[in-house]
C-alpha cells in the first residue's frame, strides 16, 4: 500500500529554564493509507508531542520543531506556509484530543463547533453544513442528532463529547486521524465503545489512524502496526502480533509484563519496570533505558544502540535484542 | 433563563433594603449631628435647649423607628424628602447631578471599553513582543496617573496651546448636545484612560488564559484562521472577568469622582456626597448612598445577565 504519512527523523524540542528538552529526538515512522498505527509509551515519552508536530501545533515559542521531515501525501508539512498548513488541518488530517471535557468550547453550541470546519474547508452554506452535522452525529451514534445540534457541551456526557469529537474529526473526510489518548479520560465501558466506533468508522470510510496511547490493551486490539517510544525515540517497531508474541526490547517486554492479566491464575504481584523515565533534558550517552534495564551490558551505557531490523521489518533498538527472543512474555 | 433573571431581579430589593437600614443606622452612629455642625460653623455657643428645638424642627427628636418609617414611606412614593442643610427638595437637587454623573460614567465606559478590548486582545496575541510591552506601559501609566492630574494637564494644554477652555456650566445633552459634549469629553477621556488601564490588563490576562485552553487547540486543529479563533472561540470566554471589572468601575464612577469633578468644575454626585457627609445632612446622604447603591446593584444585575448571555452553563442552571 502507498505511504500516506512518513515521519523522518523528527526532532522537536522545548526550551525550558532547565535547558533544552528533547521531547522528540529523531523519530521516524510511517502510516499507510487506511491503516491503524499505534504510538505507545508512558507519559512524557514524547508521543503526544510527535502528533502535535505533525499538525504543527506545538506550543510556540517554547516548543519548536528543529529537524526532520513530515511527508504527507508527498508534501513535506514542515515546509508549508502557515496558510497552507491551515488547509491541511481539519481537512486532510484531523485530530482527536485526550480530554473531551476541556477540548470542546463551553460557550458554543455543538452545531456551531461541528459546522465551522465544514463551512471553512468544504465551503458549505449553513443549511448544508447543518444537514451534514446531523448526519455526522448520527454516524457516531448520538441519538436524536437534530435536537442535539442546539445543545452545549456541558449537556453532553464524557462519552458523548468524545463521540462528538470523532464526528468533528470525520467532518471533512480526512485521510488521516490523529487520536491522542482518545479514551484515557473515559470510563472503561465507554472506552471500548468509542474505540470500536473509531475502528469501525476508519475501516468503513478508509481513514488511516495514528492512535497514541499508553494502553497496551488498546494497541493489541485495534492497531495494525505498533511503534514503542521511550525517552523521545522509537525503540521498537513491528506488527501488533510481533510486538506481543516476540518483543525484542527490554522496555517492551517490561511493559507487557506489567499489565495485569485477568485470564491467568492470581499471581503474587505485578512486575513493574523499576526506576523512573529519564530527564529529557539530560539524557545519558548510551541507551536511555539502560539505567532501568535488567539485560544491560557494558556497551549499553556508552553507545546508543542502532535500530536492528529483524524479520519483515520488526525493528528493535537494543544491543541484546537477539538474546531476548527466548524470554517468556508473561 | 427567565427564572434566572427573575430571581436576580427580585434579589435586588432585599439588598437595597439592607443598604437603607445600614446607612440609616451608620449615619446616626457617627459623632455629631447636623445641628451641632451648623452652630459650630456659625461660631456661636448655643444652649442645649436651643439645639433641642432645632432638632425637633428636623424631626431628629423622634424615636429612630419613627424616623426610619417616615423616610421609607417617602421613598415608597419616590420622594427623598428635603435636604436638612438647605431645606431644598432632594429630588430636584439630584436630578441634574445624577444626569451629569451618569452621562460621564457612560462616556468614560465607552472610552475605556473601546481602548481596553482591542488593546488587551492585541497584547495577549502578541505576548512578549514590543507591541505587548507598549500596551503594558500604556496601561501601567494609566494606573499610575491619577485622573484628576491628567485632567489638570489636559486643561492646561487646551488653555496654553489652543487658548480655549471647555464650557464650565453643565448643559443637558438633550438641550445642546454639542455644548454638552464639549464639556464632558475631557473628563470622560481622563477618567476613561485610567479605567481602561484596569480593563486592558484584565482583558490581556483573561485572553492569555483562554488561549491556553484545550478548546483553542481544538479550534486550531480544525484549521480555523486566527481571527475566527479569537472572535468566535476566545473572546466570549475571555469577556467574563472583563465585564465584571467594567461593571464595578462604572458603578464606582457614579459617586467616586470627587477630585476629578472639582478639577473640571462639574457638579456631579461625588462633590455633593462629600458636602452632605461633612454637614451630617442625614436625608441627603441617605438619598445619595441609596442612589449609588442602586447603581451598584443594578450593574451587578446587568453583569449577571451578561454572564448568562455569554455562558450557557449559567443560562441552563
Domains along chain A?
1-85+224-262+270-330 (3.40.50.300)
Residues 182 through 221 of chain B touching chain A, CB cutoff 8 Å: 213-215, 217-221
Residue partners of B36: CB distance under 8 A and separation at least 6: B51, B280
Nearest of A3, A13, A40, A32 to residue A179 by alpha carbon: A40
Angle value at C-alpha A159, between A157 and A165, nearest 5 degrees: 105
pLDDT of residue A310: 59
Read off the C-alpha cell for A114: 461541528
Do B140 and B239 fall into the same domain?
yes
Nearest of A8, A3, A6, A13 to residue A280 by alpha carbon: A13
Q: Higher pLDDT residue, A267 or A243?
A: A243
Considering chain A, what is the average pLDDT of its residues? 86
Residues of A within 8 A of B219 (CB-CB) are 105
The answer to whether B236 contacts chain A (CB < 8 Å) is yes
pLDDT of residue A77: 92
Do B45 and B113 fall into the same domain?
no
Q: Mapping DSSP to helix (H, G, I), strand (E, B) and coil, where does residue B26 land? A: helix
Q: Do B218 and A97 touch (CB under 8 A)?
A: yes
A264-273: long-range contacts, CB 8 A cutoff, minimum separation 24? A264/A330
pLDDT of residue A1: 57
Residue B164 is assigned to a structural domain of this protein: yes
pLDDT at A193 over 90: no
Buried b / exposed e across A192-217, counting CB within 10 Å, b at 16+?
ebbbebbbebbeeeebbbbbbbbbbe
Do B238 and B120 fall into the same domain?
yes
Do B48 and B158 fall into the same domain?
no
pLDDT of residue B141: 93
Mean pLDDT of B161-180: 84
Do B191 and B141 fall into the same domain?
yes
**Smallest Cβ distance to A121: which of B223, B310, B312?**
B223
- Total domain count, chain B: 2
The answer to whether A103 contacts chain B (CB < 8 Å) is yes
Do B43 and B149 fall into the same domain?
no
- Closest CA–CA distance from residue B132 to any residue of chain A (Å): 15
Give residue B124's pLDDT band: very low, low, confident or very high (50, 70, 90).
Answer: very high
Residue B48 is assigned to a structural domain of this protein: yes
pLDDT at A266 over 80: no
Do B182 and B277 fall into the same domain?
yes
Element (H, E) at A319: none
pLDDT of residue B150: 92
Report CA A238 to chain centroid distance, whole Å: 16
Q: How far is residue B19's CA from residue A211's CA, in Å, rounded to a whole number?
A: 61
CATH number at residue B145: 1.10.3720.10
Residue B88 is assigned to a structural domain of this protein: no
Give residue B121's pLDDT band: very low, low, confident or very high (50, 70, 90).
Answer: very high
Residue B2 is assigned to a structural domain of this protein: no
Give B31-79 pLDDT, tens digit per residue. 878 887 777 767 666 777 878 888 888 888 888 888 899 888 888 888 8
Residue B14 is assigned to a structural domain of this protein: no
Residue B53 is assigned to a structural domain of this protein: yes
Mean pLDDT of A203-225: 87
Q: Do B237 and A106 touch (CB under 8 A)?
A: yes
Mean pLDDT of A192-220: 87
Decide: A227 and A37 in contact? Cβ < 8 Å.
yes
Give A13-32 pLDDT, tens digit per residue. 898 888 888 888 888 899 99
Do B306 and B189 fall into the same domain?
yes
pLDDT of residue B22: 93
Q: How far is residue B279's CA from residue B36's CA, in Å, rounded to a whole number?
A: 9
Buried b / exposed e across A283-313, counting CB within 10 Å, b at 16+?
bbebbbbbbbbebbeeebeeebbeeeebeee
- Closest CA–CA distance from residue A240 to any residue of chain B (Å): 29
Q: Higher pLDDT residue, B276 or A274?
A: B276
Residue partners of A280: CB distance under 8 A and separation at least 6: A21, A22, A23, A25, A44, A46, A231, A232
- Neighbour count for residue A66 (Cβ, 10 Å): 13
Element (H, E) at A29: strand A19-32
Give B206-257 pLDDT, tens digit per residue. 999 999 999 999 999 999 999 999 999 999 999 999 999 999 899 888 878 8
The answer to whether B223 contacts chain A (CB < 8 Å) is yes
Q: Do A116 and B313 touch (CB under 8 A)?
A: no
**Smallest Cβ distance to A105: which of B215, B223, B225?**
B215
Q: Do A88 and B217 touch (CB under 8 A)?
A: no
Do B137 and B189 fall into the same domain?
yes
**Smallest Cβ distance to A102: which of B213, B228, B232?**
B213
Do B182 and B240 fall into the same domain?
yes
Give B9-26 pLDDT, tens digit per residue. 898 999 999 999 999 999
Mean pLDDT of A257-271: 68
Do B292 and B253 fall into the same domain?
yes
Q: Do B218 and A103 touch (CB under 8 A)?
A: yes
pLDDT of residue A114: 93
pLDDT of residue B88: 85
Count of residues making up chain A: 330
Q: What pairs with residue A30 in β-bridges? A: A6
Mean pLDDT of B105-131: 94
Sheet containing A315-316: give its strands across: A93-96, A176-180, A208-213, A36-40, A225-230, A233-239, A315-316, A308-309
The answer to whether B312 contacts chain A (CB < 8 Å) is yes
Domain span holding position B277? 97-315
Percent of chain B, pLDDT > 70?
98
Q: CA nearest A105 in B: which residue? A: B215
Residue B24 is assigned to a structural domain of this protein: no
Do B35 and B146 fall into the same domain?
no
Residues of A within 8 A of B237 (CB-CB) are 105-107
pLDDT of residue B74: 86
Give residue A330's pLDDT band: very low, low, confident or very high (50, 70, 90).
Answer: low
pLDDT at A157 over 60: yes
Give residue B93's pLDDT band: very low, low, confident or very high (50, 70, 90).
Answer: confident
The answer to whether B57 contacts chain A (CB < 8 Å) is no
DSSP A290: G
Q: CA nearest A165 in B: which residue? A: B218
Beta pairing, strands A36-40 & A208-213: parallel
Q: Which of B79, B113, B147 is the last residue of a domain?
A: B79
Give A55-105 pLDDT, tens digit per residue. 999 887 788 898 889 999 989 999 999 999 999 999 999 999 888 889 999
pLDDT at A311 over 60: no
Residue B146 is assigned to a structural domain of this protein: yes
Amino acid at each position: 500500500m502507498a505511504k500516506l504519512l512518513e515521519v523522518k527523523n523528527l526532532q522537536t524540542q522545548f526550551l525550558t529554564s532547565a535547558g533544552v528538552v528533547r521531547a522528540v529526538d529523531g523519530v521516524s515512522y510511517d502510516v499507510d493509507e487506511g491503516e491503524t498505527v499505534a504510538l505507545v509509551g508512558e507519559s512524557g515519552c514524547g508521543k503526544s508531542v510527535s502528533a502535535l508536530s505533525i499538525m504543527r501545533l506545538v506550543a510556540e515559542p517554547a516548543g519548536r520543531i528543529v529537524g526532520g521531515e513530515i511527508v504527507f501525501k508527498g508534501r513535506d508539512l514542515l515546509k508549508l506556509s502557515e496558510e497552507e498548513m491551515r488547509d491541511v488541518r481539519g481537512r486532510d488530517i484531523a485530530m482527536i484530543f485526550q480530554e473531551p471535557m476541556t477540548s470542546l468550547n463551553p460557550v458554543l453550541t455543538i452545531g456551531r463547533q461541528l459546522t465551522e470546519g465544514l463551512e471553512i474547508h468544504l465551503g458549505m452554506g449553513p443549511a448544508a453544513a447543518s444537514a451534514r452535522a446531523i448526519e455526522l452525529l448520527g454516524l457516531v451514534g448520538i441519538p436524536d442528532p437534530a435536537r442535539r445540534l442546539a445543545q452545549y457541551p456541558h449537556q453532553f456526557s464524557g462519552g458523548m463529547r468524545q463521540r462528538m469529537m470523532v464526528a468533528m474529526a470525520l467532518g471533512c473526510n480526512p485521510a488521516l486521524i490523529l487520536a491522542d489518548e482518545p479514551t484515557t479520560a473515559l470510563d472503561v465501558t465507554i472506552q471500548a465503545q468509542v474505540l470500536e466506533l473509531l475502528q469501525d468508522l476508519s475501516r468503513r470510510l478508509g481513514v488511516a489512524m495514528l492512535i497514541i496511547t499508553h494502553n497496551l490493551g488498546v494497541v493489541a486490539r485495534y492497531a495494525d502496526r505498533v511503534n514503542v517510544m521511550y525517552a523521545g525515540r522509537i525503540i521498537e517497531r513491528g506488527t501488533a502480533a510481533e510486538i506481543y508474541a516476540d518483543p525484542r526490547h527490554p522496555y517492551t517486554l517490561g511493559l507487557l509484563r506489567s499489565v495485569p492479566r485477568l485470564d491467568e491464575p492470581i499471581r503474587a504481584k505485578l512486575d513493574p519496570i523499576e526506576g523512573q523515565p529519564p530527564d529529557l533534558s539530560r539524557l545519558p550517552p548510551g541507551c536511555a533505558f539502560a539505567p532501568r534495564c535488567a539485560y544491560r551490558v557494558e556497551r549499553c551505557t556508552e553507545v546508543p544502540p542502532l535500530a536492528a531490523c529483524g524479520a519483515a521489518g520488526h525493528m528493535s533498538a537494543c544491543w541484546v535484542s537477539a538474546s531476548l527472543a527466548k524470554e517468556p512474555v508473561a | 433563563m427567565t427564572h434566572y433573571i427573575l430571581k436576580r431581579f427580585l434579589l435586588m430589593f432585599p439588598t437595597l433594603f439592607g443598604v437603607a437600614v445600614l446607612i440609616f443606622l451608620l449615619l446616626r452612629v457617627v459623632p455629631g449631628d447636623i445641628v451641632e455642625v451648623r452652630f459650630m460653623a456659625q461660631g456661636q455657643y448655643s444652649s442645649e435647649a436651643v439645639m433641642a428645638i432645632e432638632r425637633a424642627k428636623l424631626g431628629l427628636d423622634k424615636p429612630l423607628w419613627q424616623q426610619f418609617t417616615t423616610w421609607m414611606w417617602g421613598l415608597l412614593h419616590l420622594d427623598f424628602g428635603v435636604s436638612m442643610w438647605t431645606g431644598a427638595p432632594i429630588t430636584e437637587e439630584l436630578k441634574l447631578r445624577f444626569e451629569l454623573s451618569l452621562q460621564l460614567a457612560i462616556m468614560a465606559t465607552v472610552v475605556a471599553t473601546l481602548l481596553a478590548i482591542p488593546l488587551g486582545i492585541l497584547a495577549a496575541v502578541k505576548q512578549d513582543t514590543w507591541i505587548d510591552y507598549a500596551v503594558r506601559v500604556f496601561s501601567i501609566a494609566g494606573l499610575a496617573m491619577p485622573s484628576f492630574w491628567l485632567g489638570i494637564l489636559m486643561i492646561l494644554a487646551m488653555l496654553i496651546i489652543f487658548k480655549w477652555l471647555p464650557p464650565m456650566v453643565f448643559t443637558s445633552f438633550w438641550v445642546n448636545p454639542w455644548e454638552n459634549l464639549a464639556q464632558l469629553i475631557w473628563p470622560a477621556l481622563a477618567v476613561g484612560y485610567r479605567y481602561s488601564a484596569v480593563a486592558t490588563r484584565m482583558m490581556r490576562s483573561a485572553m492569555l488564559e483562554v488561549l491556553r485552553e484545550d478548546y483553542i487547540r481544538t479550534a486550531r486543529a480544525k484549521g480555523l484562521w486566527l481571527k475566527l479563533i479569537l472572535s468566535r472561540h476566545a473572546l466570549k470566554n475571555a469577556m467574563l472577568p472583563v465585564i465584571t471589572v467594567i461593571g464595578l468601575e462604572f458603578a464606582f464612577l457614579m459617586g467616586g469622582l470627587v477630585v476629578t469633578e472639582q478639577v473640571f468644575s462639574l457638579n456631579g454626585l461625588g462633590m455633593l456626597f462629600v458636602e452632605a457627609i461633612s454637614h451630617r445632612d442625614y436625608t441627603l446622604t441617605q438619598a445619595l448612598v441609596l442612589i449609588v447603591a442602586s447603581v451598584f446593584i443594578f450593574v451587578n444585575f446587568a453583569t449577571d445577565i451578561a454572564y448568562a448571555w455569554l455562558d450557557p452553563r449559567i443560562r441552563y442552571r
